Amino acid sequence: MEKIVIVGAGVAGVNAATKLVDNGYPGELITIIDMGKDPYNRKPSEVMEGFLGAGGWSDGKLTYHTAIGGQMSKYCGEDKAMELFDQVITNFKRFHPKPEEVQCSDPQSEPDFIKPYFGLRLFPVWHVGTDYLHEIGKNWYDYLVSKGVKFEWEAKVTSIDFKNNIGTVIVPQSDLTHTFEYDRLMFAVGKSGIDFGKQLADDYNFPTEPKPVQIGVRFEAPQKHFQKLIDISYDFKLYRKFDNGVSLRSFCTNNNAAYVAVEETYGDHSYNGHAKKGEKHRNNMTNFGILMEIPGIEEPFKWSRDLVKKVQKDATGLYYSPSRRPSSTSEGDTVSAVSINAQQMDEVREAFQGYYSYIDDFIEDMKKVFPTLAHDWGVYIPEVKYLSPEPLVDYKNLALAQFDNVHFVGDALSARGITVSGAQGTYVAEYILERFCTVENGSYICEWDNIHGDVVNW
């Protein structure tokens, strides 16, 4: 058996470890290193780091379609992808304190009132809820610890020597560094580790797959304006595509108790959103990203980063509204953003190099479809999905071309959501299991199954 190190205790890493120990892989041989905290000590403001990663403090919307949330079916085909999604959703229910409250919305047809302005992408979504995610995190963590999985918290991996299977960790609180060795490594650092992934890709000159730019704003308005669409599809995805390949979609809709969240990447601020469950958090707001996908930009990663830098003021992002002020976070603070006026919006339009007109048009058309909206909305600028160049991996196990014992998973590879990230982690775990096990009638028969009763020093 192999010593497995998982860098990142996010959705991908945690699902991978779960799949392994569920099937008897010795937990003592699995170490998960994360720069955040365990679920008991992680604060609500630590949005991106710690047990279950960004997924653990998100809105808990588990999308259930291969066209949503990043790439899975390109590696393993549609049927296998859906089977992996099922495993991830089952895990979230399994550690849920009230699994019966996990519900699925599954809109079936596009309503006439959005035509001819928008299309609506229809797909099922399982709703877990932010509040329950914290409890799920604790139950899930306890399970992995009970299986012997070792965790290193508040420890940041700063370099990995893929040739010699050695990584270096810094513990920022003490400023001490140490190294770790591995036989197999899962690189599951999510968005918060995107710069680290890029640094490794540059250092090792990984072959990569090209990516489009994905950028836009986080739109926020009172929920009542969108209610008739929310009744049909909670996480609605309004969609449009132009002949030049540019497409726009509403993205990650939050309702009822909907809060805008600041994301910090590369030291700049951008925006996202999450929703809480429970009446005490209700603010009757809706927020969603209006995201543009722009193909054909040379150096899309650099282009996005430059744009994000241009729309920062006083070390944070911007807010524009014809009538409103920025809202409060779920902790009661004002969402960090500098409010700008209509004239200053021209600077934003300049930074977007002409592409902002697509967002202006999107909002104008929403005002037609939802007539009460009028001026009762605001945008937090920017929302960005940094699609860093995706390292080229072996599709059968997501291992790097040059290093077949190093697997990239989750947002660090090509995922953009919880279900796909978890599925990628599970997919790699299945590959590892199949190295030591045979599959009979859907169950793993493994070499460790014969070891009973004895104390085994792994």
Tell me 415's DSSP state: B
**Residue 190 contacts ligand FAD per CB under 6 A:** yes
**Residue 186 contacts ligand FAD per CB under 6 A:** no
Check if the beta carbon of residue 35 is closer than 8 Å to that of residue 196.
Answer: no
Question: Taking Cα atoms as reference points, which of 369, 351, 352 lies closest to residue 240?
Answer: 369
**Residue 417 contacts ligand FAD per CB under 6 A:** yes
In whole angstroms, the minimum distance from the beta carbon of 55 to ligand FAD comes to 3
User: Can you tell me the distance from the alpha carbon of 301 to that of 208, in angstroms, rounded to the nearest whole number?
Assistant: 12
In whole angstroms, the minimum distance from the beta carbon of 237 to ligand FAD comes to 12
In whole angstroms, the minimum distance from the beta carbon of 316 to ligand FAD comes to 16
* Token code pair at residue 86: 């099922």
In whole angstroms, the minimum distance from the beta carbon of 94 to ligand FAD comes to 18
| Phi, psi dihedrals of residue 130, rounded to the nearest 5° | -55, -45
Among positions 26, 27, 39, 55, the unique one binding ligand FAD when judged by CB under 6 A = 55
Amino acid at the residue 148: G
**Residue 196 contacts ligand FAD per CB under 6 A:** yes
Check if the beta carbon of residue 206 is closer than 8 Å to that of residue 391.
Answer: yes
Using CB under 6 A as the binding rule, the residues of this chain from 268 to 287 that contact ligand FAD are: 272, 274
**Residue 35 contacts ligand FAD per CB under 6 A:** yes
**Chain centroid, CA 15 distance in Å:** 14
Give the interface segment with ligand FAD, choosing from 115-123, 309-317, 411-419, 439-447 (CB under 6 A): 411-419
Nearer to ligand FAD, 24 or 197 (CB): 197
| Number of residues counted as binding ligand FAD (CB under 6 A) | 47
* Token code pair at residue 247: 């497409």
**Residue 201 contacts ligand FAD per CB under 6 A:** no
**Residue 391 contacts ligand FAD per CB under 6 A:** no
Among positions 39, 60, 212, 382, the unique one binding ligand FAD when judged by CB under 6 A = 60
**Residue 129 contacts ligand FAD per CB under 6 A:** no
Among positions 5, 84, 213, 252, the unique one binding ligand FAD when judged by CB under 6 A = 252
Tell me 196's DSSP state: H
Residue 385 makes CB contacts below 8 A (sequence gap 6+) with: 214, 215, 291, 416
In whole angstroms, the minimum distance from the beta carbon of 189 to ligand FAD comes to 4
User: Can you tell me the distance from the alpha carbon of 64 to that of 44, in angstroms, rounded to the nearest whole number?
Assistant: 26
b or e along 120-146 (b: 16 or more beta carbons within 10 Å of the residue's beta carbon)? Answer: bbebebbbbbbbbbbebbbebbebbee
* Token code pair at residue 53: 């990663």
**Residue 133 contacts ligand FAD per CB under 6 A:** no
Instruction: State whether the Cα torsion 425-428-433-438 is positive or negative.
Output: positive
Among positions 4, 5, 6, 8, the unique one binding ligand FAD when judged by CB under 6 A = 8
Question: Taking Cα atoms as reference points, which of 350, 268, 357 lies closest to residue 317?
Answer: 268
Give the interface segment with ligand FAD, choosing from 99-107, 132-140, 333-341, 415-423 (CB under 6 A): 415-423
Bridge partners, 181 (sequence order): 166
User: Can you tell me the distance from the alpha carbon of 97 to that of 99, in angstroms, rounded to the nearest whole number?
Assistant: 6
Site string for ligand FAD, 140-179 (x = CB under 6 A): ----------------xx----------------------
* Token code pair at residue 306: 């430059």
Give the interface segment with ligand FAD, choosing from 109-117, 322-330, 339-347, 412-420 (CB under 6 A): 412-420
In whole angstroms, the minimum distance from the beta carbon of 58 to ligand FAD comes to 3
Among positions 10, 129, 317, 389, the unique one binding ligand FAD when judged by CB under 6 A = 10
Phi-psi region of 266 (alpha: psi -120 to 50; beta: other; left: phi over 0): left
In whole angstroms, the minimum distance from the beta carbon of 440 to ligand FAD comes to 31
Nearer to ligand FAD, 188 or 248 (CB): 188
Give the interface segment with ligand FAD, choosing from 53-61, 98-106, 109-117, 430-438 (CB under 6 A): 53-61
Check if the beta carbon of residue 130 is closer than 8 Å to that of residue 57.
Answer: yes
Strands 184-187 and 4-7, sheet pairing: parallel
Interface residues toward ligand FAD, by CB under 6 A? 7-13, 33-36, 47-50, 53-55, 58-61, 63, 69, 156-157, 188-193, 196, 252, 261, 263, 272, 274, 410-412, 415-419, 421
